[in-house]
Amino acid sequence: MSLEVGNKAPDFEAKDQDGNTIKLSDYLGKKVVLYFYPKDNTPGCTAQACDLRDNYDSLLKAGYIVLGISTDSEKSHKKFIEKFELLFPLIADEDKTVHELYNTWREKKNYGRTYMGTVRTTFVIDEKGKIAEIIEKVKTKEHSNQILK
- CB distance 71 to 65 below 8 Å: no
Nearest in space to 70 (alpha carbons), one of 85, 53, 48: 48
Burial status of residue 21 (CB atoms within 10 A of its CB: 0-12, 13-18, 19 or more):
exposed
Active site residues: 45
Per-residue three-class SS string for 72-113: CCHHHHHHHHHHHCCCCCEEECCCCHHHHHCCCEEEEEECCE
